[in-house]
Structure 1
Amino acid sequence: MSSFIESLYANGALLTLWGALLFHLLIPIPPAAHPVRFWQLLLSHIANKVNSPSASPQQQQLSGTLALLLLLIPTLAVLIALQTLVWKAEFYQLALLLLAIEWRGNELFTRRFINALAKEDKPGARQLLASKVNRETDALSLLGLGKAGAESVIVGYARNVIGVIFWYGLAGGIGALIYRLCAELARSWSPNKPGYATFGKPAAWLFMVIDFVPQKLFSMMVLLGLPANTIKQTLSQAKAWPNSATNWLICGYANRFELALGGPAIYGSDKLQRARVGGKIAPAAFHIAQIQKHIAWRIYVWLMLQSAVMFIIYQGL
């Protein structure tokens, strides 16, 4: 027993993971003071400077690629350089993971959104949703709010918790933070936003590449235990979903709870036609609460599995 405790103590990466989770859940960083907020403002400022709607598609894509590299390469270089200067590497990794993860923020959003939807408070629900999505929310009905809210809750947990933890296990705190910054890049410069159709493609492509594996692995946990015909229907519907990283996840939850997700989404003045997936039940507050509970348990299982894998790997090293 004592040798196991000594091994656990020696495994700094694993202790850092659980320490960061504990700090994050007990003492979360206020959203207004979170450094990611300043990253979002920087992204908006740079896009306003270099994204010219009058430029040719080739010029816009080149601008998007150069702006992406200009942001990420110096950021990565600084994070690596700082790692050699810190007094205790574990504290540095813990700080980076704290900046990257957003579990508590997703819980707070989901709880407030469920309350607003349950009270049929459409203005309140629209305002909450507008802080999480790029699509227009001002004209959404209760049905539209339920659909968009369910999708936002699913993707929010999958990226801000699962994706961050996955990349922490793979590349430490630097990997986790770079993943989170890329997620913000892809959202701020989303090709679905008016004027970003070409400029935002490099950021969207990069994030889809680094998001693909964690989302597919988490999707398998969501699909586990479903009947074979439901899994077959999920995989069939996923082929029509626009995002190949999260398609199994969205369609998996839609079919698990027989919810009607997808459908048209308005971005600015443009109407994006998306596939309709899942069943025929209109998502309401009760269903979003079900989704949150299901995701929470899957996150706990993921943490246990990843902790076990990290423990075995680091012991081997």
Structure 2
Amino acid sequence: MLSWPLTAALATAGVAVDRWLGEPRTAHPLVGFGTLAIRIEARLNTGRRGRLAGLLAWGLAVLPPVLVAMGLIAALPFAAACAVHVMLLWFALGARSLSDHLEPIARALAQRDLAEARKLTARIVSRETAHADEAALARAAVESALENGNDAIFGALFWFAVAGGPGALAFRLANTLDAMWGYRTPRYLRFGWAAARIDDVLNWIPARLTAASYALLGDTRAGWRCWREQAPRWDSPNAGPVMAAGAGSLNVLIGGPAVYHGSIEQRPVLGVGRPAAAHHIVAALHLVHRTITLWLAVLIVLALLSVPFHG
């Protein structure tokens, strides 16, 4: 485990690199990982050994790159190893990407350009947007901001604090496999069980820290109340607290009906106040960025407290 001062310094550097560069424009490592995962799934998801095959596939996809990262860090000189930690955290983070995808949706909705907003929203969500109205698009974007704040930012920061760059890498890869395999469909119900459950376990603490942070940085009373009363209704044990606390903190209503594969799915309503609109997307992004600042501040405080004081 890295010392707290080094963790704080490297985490701050990783966040700064992500804000400066964003995700790689070409040859993103996740593209190669996704291709590998598709090949592993095609080979092992044959209908036999179900959950065991899914667990084996998860291990074959995630463990080799994480072990390589650990070996590389152990073999390199200190300065180079620190650079690898920062690069791995940059790879795992998606704060700049989240803003890059959601801010144009907010602008399009503010300009009443529904066609553009539908096209942009379709790039980031799995629900159908071809006939979505302004409220539905705003709900989707706010939900994406709050949930991906945890999945693409705070989960990675948490595991970086626990296990450095390899920890952040393991979290990002596990989260990616959940997005690829963690569906309750005939094809993935048994095979994807391990990917979904492992992601739930890795996300359990980060999600609740994220939900608490969202609540503290907005309408705290509403955030806590929505988390307590509404989160248990949501299917996901981790997305529920994050989105309920975030929606309450922002005084916005999300959830409700959404179209998936041609059918309307009635989801629980989360939050309080007014239905989502363009300005709530911006507010959700601001909440995510305030939470990043809070988490880095906490790491810095932990670093300062860990330094021996000689009076």
User: What TM-score results when the alignment is normalised by the length of structure 1?
Assistant: 0.85
CA shift for structure 1 position 20:
2.2
Q: 1:134 to 1:310 in 2, by over 3 A?
A: farther
Match of residue 65, structure 1, among 42, 47, 55: 55
After superposition, where does 1:1-317 map in structure 2 within 5 Å?
Answer: 11-52=5-46, 55=47, 59-87=49-77, 88-192=80-184, 195-224=187-216, 226=219, 228=221, 231-268=224-261, 272-279=265-272, 281-313=274-306
Whichever residue aligns with residue 56 of structure 2, its letter is L
In structure 2, distance between residues paired with 1:51 and 1:92: 34
CA shift for structure 1 position 248:
1.8
Q: 1:256 to 1:65 in 2, by over 3 A?
A: same
Q: Which stretch of the first structure deviates more once superposed, 110-119 or 217-226?
A: 217-226
In structure 1, distance between residues paired with 2:41 and 2:266: 26
Whichever residue aligns with residue 170 of structure 1, its letter is V
**How much is the aligned-residue C-alpha RMSD, in angstroms?**
2.7
Q: 1:132 to 1:49 in 2, by over 3 A?
A: farther
Q: 1:116 to 1:40 in 2, by over 3 A?
A: farther
Whichever residue aligns with residue 202 of structure 1, its letter is A
Aligned residues: 304
Q: 1:259 to 1:156 in 2, by over 3 A?
A: same
Q: Which stretch of the first structure deviates more once superposed, 82-91 or 116-125?
A: 116-125
Is the 1:16–1:94 contact (alpha carbons within 8 Å) kept by the matching residues of 2?
A: yes
In structure 1, distance between residues paired with 2:210 and 2:104: 25
Q: 1:13 to 1:306 in 2, by over 3 A?
A: closer
User: What TM-score results when the alignment is normalised by the length of structure 2?
Assistant: 0.86
CA shift for structure 1 position 263:
2.3
Is the 1:101–1:164 contact (alpha carbons within 8 Å) kept by the matching residues of 2?
A: yes
Gaps of 5+ in 1: 1-8
Report sequence identity in percent.
Answer: 26
